[in-house]
Amino acid sequence: MVFASPIFLFMFLPAFLSAYYLCPLRFRSAIILAGSSIFYAWWRLDFLFMLYGIIGFSWLIALAIEKWRDNKNAKWLLRFGVIANLLTLGYFKYWNFGVDSFLKLMTHTGVNFSPELMQVILPIGISFFVFHAISYIVDVWRKDTPATHNIFDFAAFITLFPHLIAGPVLRYKDLAWQFKSRKHNIDVFSEGAYRFMAGFAKKVLIADTVAPLADAAFALEDPTMADAWLGTIAYTIQLFFDFAGYSEMAIGLALMMGFRFIENFNNPYISRSITEFWRRWHISLSTWLRDYLYFPLGGNRKGKMRTYINLFLTMLLGGLWHGANMTFILWGAWHGIILAAERLMGVNPDAPTGKIKFIAMLMMTQILVIIGWVLFRAHNVETAFAFYHGMIGLNGFGLSDAFIWQVKGAQLLALIAGIFLIYSMPFFERKRTKVELSKGSYAMQARPNLVAQVAVSSLFLIAVARLVAMSYSPFLYFQF
């Protein structure tokens, strides 16, 4: 089940919220678990039991770590818990990739054989809920949060359907106190409804409208410069409004239940460096990678060279986390190299700059991001480099006949609207206020005026009508 579907909007969500608010507060974690289980099982029932297994295992490991923390062998519990979760993720996500890579290697060495090996189905959302489980185990070990003895609260945290499938990547410590005491009132619910409607409109009206433009461009064998740049810019807009729209919908749904999530995006396309970009793009994941990968590798505490290596490795593994494909590995390496280079050159994203330098840095950063998105979007490395050939004009310069007939006026209008919103949203969002969730973690509280509420509500109704006509609108990040 996905947020942008009639069955979610008109059946699941009203039924869930009715049950949620009709039951006493002490039973609401159980209602969350039941409702989220239905939400997940709508896709495949068998993988729901795998999810329950991860929940039960991680909950018991955390309790054991807290009980025997002072025992010299307790660290093995931490290692066992983390490794077991990583092996589960590795099996489902990378088995097919590993087998295919091995068979290709054998072919290159002259050994030709094609054994009948099982193709593993990737459980939807596994990358996210495994990361949630790992962060909980590690945080209990670090004493950042106590282990909860209420398995319903922990199970509700992992399965909480707004963030179950595609994030944000949350930490239990940010929600632990909210399971015990959270606000349920019309103001919080209305704020959540506003955020959900805004994200829904971004997804359906912009991301889904420009998607065919990006798809058509990346399907070309020899794109021209105009084909490649128009297609890549379309994908740049599609990806942002698809994923940022999903994240805003997730935040809004959580608010409808009284939970406040951390923000996942902070206008990333106005960044002046890749370092700043990763402070603004997919904030929950970049923070997770920093706290649970970069810091354990040594961070910047073991000399300059080790810092550069740690930055590169963190982004390389972050790329691999996105998918079992060489394109994601190269995309992670691309960002890792740039981050290390910026660190080497002493780039300070917080340093004040003049207008001309600001615009130049913004444009350069955007170009670097767009170059990376080609790898992120392409099905394989060959397709990506064919696209790069087009971007530098090796296949001609104007729009090709194979592409131009697929370009529609509505797509270009949505593309222009998306670009306008990207650079105007910082102005509209400046009145949001920070709400501290835990040490170092913040959410944003929106206070829209009447004009904004009417505009978003109108766009939401238009988006619903368009969705009903389309019948299905998948999210890009569901593949991860």
Give the catalytic positions in this structure: 322
Q: How far apart are CA 414 and CA 229, in angstroms?
A: 16
Looking up tokens 């706290």, which residue turns up? 291
DSSP H helices, 401-449, are 401-404, 409-428
Tokens of 151: 């398995």
- In this structure, the number of other CB atoms found within 10 A of the CB of residue 470 comes to 13
Q: How far apart are CA 472 and CA 6, in angstroms?
A: 8
The DSSP element (H or E) to which 296 belongs, if any, is helix 295-297
Could you tell me how far CA 77 lies from the centroid of its own chain?
Answer: 29
Distances (CA, A) of 128 to 103, 214, 244, 453: 29, 26, 16, 32
Contact 257, 20 (CB under 8 A): yes
Determine the Cα angle at 344 with ends 343 and 350, to 5°.
Answer: 35
Percentage helix, strand, coil, to 5, in the chain? Answer: 70, 5, 25
